[in-house]
């Protein structure tokens, strides 16, 4: 059984004028984007790679990636509109949901379930969002940066033990410093990170207790 996740990772890109601003300030620019992260479903298999259930735990995040009101400046020219990125979904929740949906479609496990579902799971996946931003310091070479750390733990009679740990970082060159380019870069970075995670978990040799033996 596979539990599907509906990813509502909506990223709204908006600008906000500071209190007391004048009419000479750059205009408000408001746009809405969707992080485009999708894995095609594989051909049906006779059985999953790992005959266990994987629970996706709530992800953590560093201070700069906390909360739905994280704001990132997108413009660097005082004569043009100044863009900001505001996440309607908290970054850590967004990355966790994207990870869950990706692994569900990868068909590596008997089932992929959310943390609030009361089903027995042999494995738990935790994550930490360490970086997520557009690096526009060099206008000639802007990049989108994303870094996520993953911990896979196995439930045993004596307690949980970590069977996989890896920090994955991607810097993706983008066409320009526009909000749309940053979002496309973050989407590409997340796709590459999840591809690496899937590759690692596919090749992982689970101890007998985690493999359902």
Cα distance between residue 26 and residue 12, in whole Å: 18
Residue 191 confidence class, pLDDT cut points 50, 70, 90: very high
- 1 domain-assigned: no
| Per-residue confidence band for 202, with pLDDT thresholds at 50, 70 and 90 | very high
Question: Is 130 contained in some domain?
Answer: yes
Query: Could you tell me if residue 168 is inside a domain?
Result: yes
Residue 105 above 70 pLDDT?
A: yes
Q: Count structural domains, the chain.
A: 1
Q: Could you read off the pLDDT of 78-89 as tens digits, one per residue?
A: 434 444 455 556
Q: Is 57 part of any domain?
A: yes
Better-scored residue on pLDDT, 63 or 153: 153
Could you tell me if residue 26 is inside a domain? Answer: no
Confidence of residue 192 (pLDDT cuts 50, 70, 90): very high
SS3 (DSSP) at 136: coil
Q: Which domain holds residue 80?
A: 49-203
Name which of 94, 101, 114 is nearest 39 in CA terms: 101
- Alpha-carbon distance 138 to 189, whole Å? 19
pLDDT of residue 84: 46
Domain harbouring 142, CATH code: 3.40.50.10610
What is the arithmetic mean of pLDDT over 43-65? 84
In angstroms, the CA 27 to CA 78 distance is 11
Cα 174 from Cα 185, distance rounded (Å): 6
The reply to whether 114 falls in a domain is: yes
Average pLDDT in the 102-106 region?
93
pLDDT band at 29 (very low <50, low <70, confident <90, very high): low
Residue 44 located in a structural domain: no
- Looking at residue 15, its pLDDT comes to 35
Q: Is residue 22 part of a domain?
A: no
Specify the range with the lowest mean pLDDT, choosing from 16-30, 121-135, 147-161: 16-30
């Amino acid at each position: 059984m596979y539990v599907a996740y509906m990813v509502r990772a909506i990223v709204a890109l908006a600008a906000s004028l500071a209190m007391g601003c004048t009419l000479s300030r750059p205009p408000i620019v408001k746009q809405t984007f969707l992080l485009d992260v999708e894995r095609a479903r594989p051909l049906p298999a006779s059985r999953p790679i790992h005959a266990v259930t994987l629970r996706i735990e709530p992800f953590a995040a560093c201070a700069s990636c906390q909360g739905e009101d994280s704001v990132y400046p997108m413009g660097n020219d005082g004569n043009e509109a100044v863009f900001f990125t505001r996440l309607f979904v908290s970054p850590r929740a967004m990355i966790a949901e994207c990870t869950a949906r990706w692994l569900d479609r990868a068909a590596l496990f008997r089932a992929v379930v959310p943390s609030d579902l009361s089903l027995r799971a042999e494995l738990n996946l935790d994550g930490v969002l360490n970086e997520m931003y557009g690096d526009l310091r060099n206008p000639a070479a802007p990049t989108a940066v994303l870094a996520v750390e993953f911990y896979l733990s196995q439930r045993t009679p004596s307690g949980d033990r970590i069977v996989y740990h890896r920090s994955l970082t991607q810097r993706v060159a983008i066409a320009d410093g526009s909000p749309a380019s940053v979002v496309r870069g973050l989407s590409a970075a997340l796709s590459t990170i999840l591809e690496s995670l899937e590759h690692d978990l596919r090749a992982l040799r689970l101890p007998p207790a985690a493999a359902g033996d």
